[in-house]
Amino acid sequence: MGRKKLKWISCVLLLLAVLVGVAALSLGIGEISIPFFDIPRLFSEKESTEYAVLAYIRLPRTLLGFAVGGSLSLAGAMLQGIYRNPLVEPYTLGISGGASLGVTFAIVGGLHLLHAFFLPLAGFIGAFASIFLVYTLSLRRDTLNVNRMLLIGVMVSFISSSLMMFLMSITSSDSLHYIVLWTMGSLTESDNAMVLATTALSLVCLAASYFFVMPLNALRLGEEKARYLGFNANVVIRILFVITSLLTGACIAVVGVIGFVGLVIPHIVRLWVGSDYRILLLTSFLSGSSFLILCDLLARTIIAPNELPIGVITGIIGGVMFVVLLSRSGRKTSKN
């Protein structure tokens, strides 16, 4: 076995161990402390308070952190590969803005009161409509201009934010309160079916992304060279946009706006394991999952018994990490 494969296996095993450890902390730490080794026994004691805390509060939050953190990080890794730009994420392309606008429309229209699945559906429709608009406006004579697409995505994101503020200014106080809480981000989800559906979607999209590992590696060389290698770059990009829109739309609809996960985590993982998408996709997913579960743990314990919005924690930690990375890379460049 080659040295590279041994390194990849070691990285995956390390990240799995970190994920298990962070999940154990998330399940055990809180107002009611639960030792990790008592968790299997407590699941059989359905009349106990500890079982209720585990089954209805902490386990759904941990699963949702696993799914959403992994999904956002995976979406960021794929988009950064398409654009060959480590600063690209769902927010900069307007995907998150479109998903947020779709969810806001659903809340203002009262669709969230009819069924819980209307919010993820509205989020996906908004995300897909946004990326479809960006993609269509970026086409010139059936040729996709990636730089033009990035600029249009930023403008679509600004327009979506403006439309959201307009809707918030004309809606009722109850809907406004719901939208404000939703924009702060939270892993609190009472519908277990929604949690399971989000987890299943994240794993299915992770598996689907591995069908495009070789095209993503080829796109690192540019679209023309990818075509010379036998890949239809336009078709690959369209399919990857659908996958990233599905991931981003569902995540935003379920937990709200959570920034920096799709930007910082793939960037850090790429510096660690390299740019080969055979390992980058899986390690980005696992790292994003661990990061968001840890941020959720901090959000609900740092000022306990009160709880901070998880978007505050991810923004602070992610922003600081990214500034540190940029400053270190700048020093290395100046020394060389």
Q: For position 67, which CATH number holds?
A: 1.10.3470.10
* 202 has a pLDDT exceeding 90: yes
Position 331 scores a pLDDT of: 57
Position 333 scores a pLDDT of: 46
Q: How far apart are CA 126 and CA 230, in angstroms?
A: 33
Mean pLDDT of 133-144: 74
Single-letter amino acid, residue 272: W
Tokens encoding 318: 């992610």
* 144 has a pLDDT exceeding 70: no
* 327 has a pLDDT exceeding 90: no
Mean pLDDT of 196-208: 92
Look up the domain containing 130 and give its range: 3-335
Single out the residue of 11, 139, 58, 56 nearest to residue 301, CA to CA: 58
Write the pLDDT tens digit of every residue in 167-179.
Answer: 888 888 888 888 8
Contact by Cβ (8 Å): 19, 290? yes
Q: In percent, how much of the chain has pLDDT > 70?
A: 94
Per the structure, how many domains does the chain have?
A: 1
Contact by Cβ (8 Å): 106, 122? yes
Single out the residue of 137, 147, 179 nearest to residue 161, CA to CA: 179
If you write DSSP's letter for every residue of 88-112 in order, what string do you get? Answer: --TTTTTHHHHHHHHHHHHHHTTGG
Q: What is the mean pLDDT of the chain?
A: 83
Query: pTM higher than 0.85 for the full model?
Result: yes
Write the pLDDT tens digit of every residue in 211-237.
Answer: 999 988 888 877 777 777 788 877 888
Write the pLDDT tens digit of every residue in 41-79.
Answer: 777 777 778 788 888 888 899 999 999 999 999 999 998
pLDDT band at 116 (very low <50, low <70, confident <90, very high): low
Single out the residue of 197, 208, 199 nearest to residue 70, CA to CA: 199
Q: How far apart are CA 155 and CA 135, in angstroms?
A: 13
Position 55 scores a pLDDT of: 80
Position 241 scores a pLDDT of: 83
Backbone torsions φ then ψ of 38, nearest 5 degrees: -90, -10
- Which residues, other chains included, contact 194 with Cβ-Cβ below 8 Å and sequence gap of 6+? 116, 117, 120, 254
* 158 has a pLDDT exceeding 70: yes
Write the pLDDT tens digit of every residue in 121-133.
Answer: 888 788 888 878 8
* 112 has a pLDDT exceeding 80: no
Write the pLDDT tens digit of every residue in 254-302.
Answer: 888 887 888 889 988 988 888 889 999 999 999 999 999 999 999 888 8
First to last CA, the chain: 34
